């Protein structure tokens, strides 16, 4: 089997990131609005599923998203080195979105692990506090993700045209023969 080139790997991971990011955002917002802030009982359904189903959905997609982001960062390791480390302070890009992602992931994963391994009633305060931080950072992260997608829109559009074997003719996208 022919090995995928770096551009195709990057595009595939980006598409998977967009899809899982959307599903992760949807489940996170729904959990926050309906159950955390809305105080909907956990056994009551919101958009076809109850709290437990949405929570499982969110956890599964958070693990997938974390792995995809890790692959994305690995594919762009040279860019990270160039923009975060080797350039002068004036030329550096902000590492804040990447740092925010990892803090958001940690504040989500730690309560998940505390729920499985903690038997102390004192752990609930830490669990609840981390979830509150995770909820707020998650909203900021969604906004940053949308800004990032918007900034990459032309590249994504060009890659979709390339992958689907389309071409532009007089500003119209048509199938290549």
- pTM of the complete model: 0.79
43-74 per-residue burial string, b: 16 or more CB within 10 A, e: under 16: eeebeeeebeebbebbeebbebbbebbebbee
CA distance to 19, 32, 93, 164, per residue, from 36 (Å): 24, 5, 35, 42
Per-residue pLDDT tens over the stretch 53-95 = 998 999 999 999 999 999 998 988 888 887 777 666 565 667 7
Numbers of helices and strands, H then E, in the chain: 6, 2
Asked if pLDDT for residue 177 goes beyond 60, the answer is no
d(CA 175, CA 64): 33
pLDDT tens-digit readout, 111-167 = 888 776 665 555 567 777 888 899 999 999 999 989 988 988 888 888 888 777 776
């Amino acid at each position: 089997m022919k090995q995928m080139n770096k551009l195709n790997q990057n595009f595939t991971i980006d598409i998977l990131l967009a899809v899982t990011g959307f599903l992760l955002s949807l489940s996170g917002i729904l959990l926050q609005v309906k159950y955390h802030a809305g105080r909907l009982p956990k056994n009551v359904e919101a958009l076809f599923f109850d709290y437990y189903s949405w929570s499982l959905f969110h956890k599964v997609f958070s693990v997938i998203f974390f792995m995809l982001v890790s692959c994305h960062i690995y594919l762009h390791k040279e860019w990270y080195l160039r923009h975060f480390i080797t350039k002068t302070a004036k030329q550096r890009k902000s590492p804040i979105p990447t740092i925010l992602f990892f803090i958001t992931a940690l504040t989500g994963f730690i309560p998940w692990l505390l729920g499985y391994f903690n038997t102390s009633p004192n752990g609930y305060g830490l669990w609840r506090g981390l979830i509150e931080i995770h909820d707020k950072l998650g909203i900021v992260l969604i906004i940053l993700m949308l800004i990032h997608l918007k900034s990459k829109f032309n590249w994504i559009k060009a890659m979709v045209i390339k992958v689907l074997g389309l071409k532009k003719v007089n500003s119209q996208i048509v199938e290549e023969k």
